[in-house]
């Protein structure tokens, strides 16, 4: 597809088509030739903030009976890497990405993290090109089908799922759980478990079952990672 065809699919026509090209330019291009090439990371940074603000406001307005906890979980469900990559595939962004040869040959057009970043960069580009209202209109059109699925906000704690989504922003590799020990009589066992990512231990947890120990380890890992981010 040409950029004109892509804009038709987006239902948005750029006044400055250069912003769209910039949103599609992967950072790998800047490293390939040893020269400075503008790429989409700054737009990604901007688009992430725009997306968070607009979806947060919509959740706040649409679900007045819910407090911060479930609203935060609902927003995370809407904007995690996997979900954003699905939006990118639906829009056909992968075919338009401007990649280095190395990124192209390693499957960059289908990589979830690359596609998710491109969506955020696209939102930043629309915001700069058409302003807040244009970005809001595009985001609500893209995400409004998901709001119907959130008529009941997620309230069940799922630390393993949350940890996996958090780590997906860093690496496609999934966390691994291993039982370290099981102590006590059969009717009152206590399991100790460790969660690792890319060979690095993140945390340990314990519980009355393997599943409970894994959840506890994930909960401890989440707390540590979030504390590190806030520093």
Closest CA to 63 of 136, 155, 158, 162: 155
Q: Could you give the CA distance from residue 28 to residue 102 in angstroms, rounded to a whole number?
A: 8
Continuous segment of H or E residues that includes residue 180: strand 176-183
Q: Say which CATH number the domain at 35 has.
A: 1.10.1520.10
Domain of residue 175: give its range. 159-230
Helix 132-149 vs helix 81-91: crossing angle, to nearest 10: 110
Q: Say which CATH number the domain at 191 has.
A: 3.30.160.20
120 flagged as catalytic: yes
Please state whether 205 falls in left (phi above 0), alpha (psi between -120 and 50) or beta.
beta
133 flagged as catalytic: no
Please check whether residues 212 and 172 belong to one and the same domain.
yes
Residue 159 pLDDT exceeds 80:
yes
Please check whether residues 49 and 136 belong to one and the same domain.
yes
User: For 140, how many CA atoms within 13 A lie in the half-sphere containing its CB?
Assistant: 13
Boundary (domain end) residue, out of 149, 175, 191: 149
Q: Could you give the CA distance from residue 126 to residue 44 in angstroms, rounded to a whole number?
A: 11
Please check whether residues 18 and 130 belong to one and the same domain.
yes
What are the backbone dihedrals phi and psi of residue 124, each rounded to the nearest 5 degrees, phi first? -65, -40
Q: 66-113, pLDDT tens digit by residue?
A: 778 778 878 887 888 888 999 999 999 999 998 888 888 888 888 888
Q: 196-223, pLDDT tens digit by residue?
A: 998 899 999 999 899 889 999 998 998 8
Please check whether residues 213 and 104 belong to one and the same domain.
no
Top-confidence residue, 78 or 126: 126
Q: Per the residue annotation, which of 48, 117, 142, 162 is the catalytic one?
A: 48
Residue 123 inside a domain? The answer is yes
Q: Per the residue annotation, which of 103, 120, 129, 216 is the catalytic one?
A: 120
Residue 154 inside a domain? The answer is no
Q: Which residues pair with 194 in a beta bridge?
A: 178, 204
Please check whether residues 194 and 218 belong to one and the same domain.
yes
Please check whether residues 166 and 70 belong to one and the same domain.
no
Strand order in the sheet with 190-197: 176-183, 190-197, 200-207
| Structure token pair of residue 217 | 């380890």
Q: 27-40, pLDDT tens digit by residue?
A: 888 776 666 788 99
Boundary (domain end) residue, out of 131, 149, 167: 149
Mean pLDDT of the chain: 87
Please check whether residues 174 and 133 belong to one and the same domain.
no
Boundary (domain end) residue, out of 104, 128, 149: 149
Please check whether residues 177 and 124 belong to one and the same domain.
no
The reported pLDDT for the residue numbered 33 is: 64
User: Is this model's pTM higher than 0.75 or not?
Assistant: no
Strands 190-197 and 176-183: antiparallel
Please check whether residues 195 and 226 belong to one and the same domain.
yes
Q: Which residues pair with 197 in a beta bridge?
A: 200
Give the chain's domain count.
2
């Amino acid at each position: 597809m040409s950029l004109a065809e892509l804009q038709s699919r987006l239902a948005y026509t750029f006044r400055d088509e250069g912003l769209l090209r910039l949103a599609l330019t992967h950072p790998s291009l800047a490293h390939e030739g040893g020269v400075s090439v503008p790429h989409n990371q700054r737009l990604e940074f901007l688009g992430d903030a725009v997306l968070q603000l607009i979806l947060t406001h919509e959740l706040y307005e649409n679900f007045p009976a819910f407090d911060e906890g479930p609203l935060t979980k609902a927003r995370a469900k809407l904007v995690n890497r996997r979900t954003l990559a699905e939006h990118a595939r639906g829009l056909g962004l992968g075919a338009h990405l401007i990649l280095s040869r190395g990124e192209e040959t390693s499957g960059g057009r289908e990589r979830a993290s690359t596609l998710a970043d491109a969506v955020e960069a696209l939102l930043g580009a629309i915001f700069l090109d058409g302003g807040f209202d244009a970005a809001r209109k595009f985001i609500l059109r893209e995400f409004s089908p998901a709001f119907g699925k959130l008529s009941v906000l997620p309230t069940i704690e799922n630390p393993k799922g949350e940890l996996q989504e958090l780590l997906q922003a860093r690496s496609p590799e999934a966390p691994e759980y291993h039982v370290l020990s099981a102590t006590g009589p059969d009717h009152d066992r206590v399991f100790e478990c460790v969660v690792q990512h890319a060979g690095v231990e993140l945390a340990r947890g314990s519980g009355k079952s393997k599943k409970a120990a894994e959840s506890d380890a994930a909960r401890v890992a989440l707390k540590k990672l979030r504390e590190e981010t806030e520093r």
